[in-house]
Amino acid sequence: MRVLGVDPGLTRCGVGVVEGVAGRPLRMLGVGVVRTPADAPIGDRLVLIERGLEEWLETHRPEFVAVERVFSQHNVRTVMGTAQASAVAMLCAARRGLPVALHTPSEVKAAVTGTGRADKVQVGSMVTRLLRLDAPPKPADAADALALAICHIWRAPAMNRLQQAVAAHRTTKGRIS
CB 131 within 8 Å of CB 28: yes
Burial bucket for residue 43 (CB in 10 Å: 0-12, 13-18, 19+): exposed
Could you list the residues known to form a binding site, using ranges.
7, 68, 141
Could you list the residues known to form a binding site for Mg(2+), using ranges.
7, 68, 141
Q: Of 50, 63, 68, 134, which is the active-site residue?
A: 68
The verdict on whether 7 is a catalytic residue reads yes
Q: Of 39, 58, 63, 141, which is the active-site residue?
A: 141
Report d(CA 5, CA 68) in Å as an integer.
8
Report d(CA 77, CA 84) in Å as an integer.
11
The verdict on whether 134 is a catalytic residue reads no
The verdict on whether 119 is a catalytic residue reads no
| Coarse DSSP helix, strand, coil percentages of the chain, rounded to the nearest 5 percent | 50, 20, 30
Active site residues: 7, 68, 141
